């Protein structure tokens, strides 16, 4: 194996630049001094200049098909956040029904369904995925592991939560 020559300067011993590194350097030169943004450069313009559309698409797919425990934890927490909003809307409707006595905003059966769905949403679709997300993110870091056991099964679990939430909503509405 050929190692770096001691006669070569340190700059020549660096690994070759990738195509994206060249674009980044061009962007930095375009902004003025390297590593410093001037007042006219926006973050969106900088990212658009740094990444091609194919690289942006790959970035999105990398998040959706990741087996990295940190990304899976974040996806669990984002799923919990989305269902938290739905559960909050359900709670708002429940509170609107109870704002005055004998309110007719919701029918009694609808109120009972909404009350049950709010509890189901908050426990099974918010609290549990949030705990799973925090555990997926933090636990491997705490024990010094590189990743979780069975990372593909772990990634499947992320996508079963929204599917299960949708299934509960469709069948509960019947």
> Residue 142's CB: how many other CB atoms inside 10 A?
8
Domain ranges of the chain: 10-51, 64-172
Helices (H), the chain: 19-31, 43-50, 53-64, 69-97, 108-120, 128-143, 151-172
Q: What is the pTM of this model?
A: 0.67
What is the distance of C-alpha 47 from the center of its chain?
A: 19
* pLDDT for 62: 82
* pLDDT for 4: 53
Are the C-beta atoms of 154 and 72 separated by less than 8 Å?
yes
What is the distance of C-alpha 79 from the center of its chain?
A: 8
Sign of the dihedral defined by the CA atoms of residues 15, 18, 21, 26, in that order = positive
Q: State the Cα–Cα distance between residues 73 and 64, nearest whole angstrom.
A: 12
* pLDDT for 66: 87
* pLDDT for 19: 46
Residue holding tokens 């660096």?
Answer: 14
Question: What Rg do the C-alpha atoms of the chain give, in angstroms?
Answer: 25
- Which tens digit of pLDDT belongs to each residue from 74-119? 999 999 999 999 999 999 999 999 999 999 999 999 999 999 999 9
> What is the rounded average pLDDT for all residues in the chain?
80
Q: Model confidence at 37, in pLDDT bands (50, 70, 90)?
A: low
- Which tens digit of pLDDT belongs to each residue from 115-145? 999 999 999 999 999 999 999 999 999 999 8
Is the pLDDT score of 20 beyond 60? no
């Amino acid at each position: 194996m050929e190692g770096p020559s001691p006669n070569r300067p340190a700059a020549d011993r660096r690994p070759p630049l990738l195509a994206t590194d060249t674009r980044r350097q061009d962007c930095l030169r375009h902004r003025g001094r390297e590593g410093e943004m001037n007042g006219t450069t926006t973050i969106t313009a900088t990212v658009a200049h740094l990444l091609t559309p194919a690289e942006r698409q790959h970035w999105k797919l990398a998040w959706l098909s990741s087996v990295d425990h940190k990304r899976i934890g974040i996806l669990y927490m984002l799923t919990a956040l989305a269902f938290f909003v739905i559960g909050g809307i359900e709670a708002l409707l429940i509170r609107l029904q109870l704002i005055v006595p004998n309110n007719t905003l919701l029918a009694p059966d609808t109120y009972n369904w909404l009350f049950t769905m709010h509890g189901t949403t908050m426990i099974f679709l918010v609290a549990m995925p949030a705990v799973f997300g925090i555990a997926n993110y933090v636990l491997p870091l705490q024990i010094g592991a590189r990743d979780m056991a069975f990372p593909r099964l772990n990634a499947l679990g992320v996508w079963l939560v929204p599917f299960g939430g949708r299934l509960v909503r469709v069948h509960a509405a019947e």
